[in-house]
């Protein structure tokens, strides 16, 4: 790599973010001899099984975490190199929504939502119930806590992150990827493979902005609070209000914008003992 600046030009090595395509396939007994290809997503390699499962659940192509039987890379003929870019998820039965499978490429910058309308999303994702309470100082501190776990970002400066935290701010899992929506899918897949869905007491923190598909994925996974370092889109706000998701944007150490369902965010003195105990 060549760098240029006031001191002139010089050659030096650099770390760059990995970006490769990954095809996601789904198969079920009696569904045919070959798994069905449903999407190709551009992702940063790593936690591929979580990504595949999280994507399928978020898009309604797998109805329940209990339906996931096995996840594996594509079987290849002897002697062919395994590139680890095709993942097959074996399920107990295919979701009815698989009939509208995507068969498309998802870029790393924006998840193309498989739910055509908010009405369709409403039918498979009712509004989330109240709770949990999150102390305001915990919410304001989540971007910094997320940043501490962005190890690959430290080397490349080119990855987004998504993290799951308790209402008291304790980390549950953090994933990095070139796409924010992929990082969220990896978290949902992590939870599904551990049979931890719905994530009804968790808080999701994402680097950068938050748009519709991230709120959608959070709501489907039962996550009641979404925290973003940057802006929220108008459709993200409308979707959060509709689905009962608390949405915070432009979160800094001393301030945040609460766009939807602010009642879950309380002052430390008002927080119930179980929320405050995590601090």
112 shares its domain with 141: no
- Note the pLDDT of residue 259: 97
- Note the pLDDT of residue 104: 47
241 shares its domain with 164: yes
Catalytic residue among 74, 110, 113, 125: 110
- Note the pLDDT of residue 50: 98
- CATH code assigned at 236: 3.40.140.10
Query: How do residues 99-157 score in pLDDT, each as one tens digit?
Result: 555 444 454 444 444 445 566 777 788 999 999 999 999 999 999 999 887 765 444 55
110 shares its domain with 141: no
Q: Is 30 within a domain?
A: yes
235 shares its domain with 264: yes
Q: Hunting for tokens 């039918």 — which residue is that?
A: 123
Number of domains forming the structure of the chain: 2
25 shares its domain with 155: no
pTM of the model as a whole: 0.85
Residue 97 is part of which domain span? 20-117
Q: Is 35 within a domain?
A: yes
158 shares its domain with 266: yes
- Note the pLDDT of residue 236: 95
Spatial CB neighbours of 70, under 8 Å, sequence gap ≥ 6: 89, 90
Q: Is 15 within a domain?
A: no
Residue that is last in its domain, among 117, 143, 169: 117
Q: Is 11 within a domain?
A: no
156 shares its domain with 268: yes
What is the b/e burial string over 93-106, where b = at least 16 CB atoms within 10 angstroms of the residue's CB?
ebbebbeebbeeeb
Count of CA atoms in the C-beta half-sphere (13 A) of 216: 28
82 shares its domain with 193: no
Is 110 part of the annotated catalytic residue set?
Answer: yes
Residue 45: Cβ within 10 Å count: 15
Q: Is 3 within a domain?
A: no
- Note the pLDDT of residue 251: 97
Q: Is 125 within a domain?
A: no
268 shares its domain with 139: yes
- Note the pLDDT of residue 115: 47
- Note the pLDDT of residue 109: 47
139 shares its domain with 242: yes
28 shares its domain with 92: yes
Walk along the chain (279 residues) in steps of 10 and give the mean pLDDT of each run.
81 74 87 79 94 93 93 76 84 69 48 53 87 96 88 59 96 92 96 97 94 94 97 95 97 96 86 50
- Note the pLDDT of residue 112: 43
Residue that is last in its domain, among 117, 151, 174: 117
Query: How do residues 12-23 score in pLDDT, each as one tens digit?
Result: 776 666 788 999
- Note the pLDDT of residue 230: 93
152 shares its domain with 220: yes
Residue that is last in its domain, among 117, 151, 173: 117
Spatial CB neighbours of 252, under 8 Å, sequence gap ≥ 6: 140, 143
DSSP 8-state code for residue 75: P
- CATH code assigned at 113: 3.10.20.10
Q: Is 123 within a domain?
A: no
Q: Is 247 within a domain?
A: yes
């Amino acid at each position: 790599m060549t760098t240029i600046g006031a001191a002139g030009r010089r050659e030096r090595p650099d770390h760059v973010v990995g970006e490769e395509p990954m095809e996601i396939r789904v198969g079920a007994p009696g569904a045919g001899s070959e798994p069905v290809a449903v999407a190709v997503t551009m992702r940063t390699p790593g936690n591929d099984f979580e990504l595949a499962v999280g994507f399928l659940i978020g898009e309604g192509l797998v109805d329940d975490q209990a339906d996931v039987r096995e996840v594996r890379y594509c079987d290849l003929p002897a002697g062919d190199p395994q590139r680890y870019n095709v993942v097959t998820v074996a399920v107990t039965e295919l979701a009815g929504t698989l009939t509208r499978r995507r068969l498309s490429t998802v870029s790393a910058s924006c998840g193309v939502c498989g739910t055509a309308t908010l009405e369709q999303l409403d039918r498979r994702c009712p509004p989330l119930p109240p709770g949990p309470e999150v102390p305001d100082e915990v919410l304001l501190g989540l971007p910094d806590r997320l940043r501490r776990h962005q190890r690959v970002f430290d080397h490349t400066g080119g990855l987004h992150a998504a993290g799951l935290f308790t209402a008291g701010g304790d980390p549950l899992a953090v994933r990095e990827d070139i796409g924010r929506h992929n990082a969220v899918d990896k978290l949902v897949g992590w939870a599904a493979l551990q049979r931890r869905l719905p994530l009804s007491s968790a808080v999701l923190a994402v680097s950068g902005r938050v748009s519709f598909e991230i709120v959608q994925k959070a709501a489907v996974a039962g996550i009641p609070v979404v925290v973003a370092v940057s802006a929220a889109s108008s459709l993200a706000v409308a979707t959060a209000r509709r689905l009962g998701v608390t949405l915070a944007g432009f979160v800094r150490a001393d301030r945040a914008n609460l766009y939807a369902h602010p009642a879950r965010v309380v002052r430390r003195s008002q927080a119930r003992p179980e929320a405050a105990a995590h601090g």
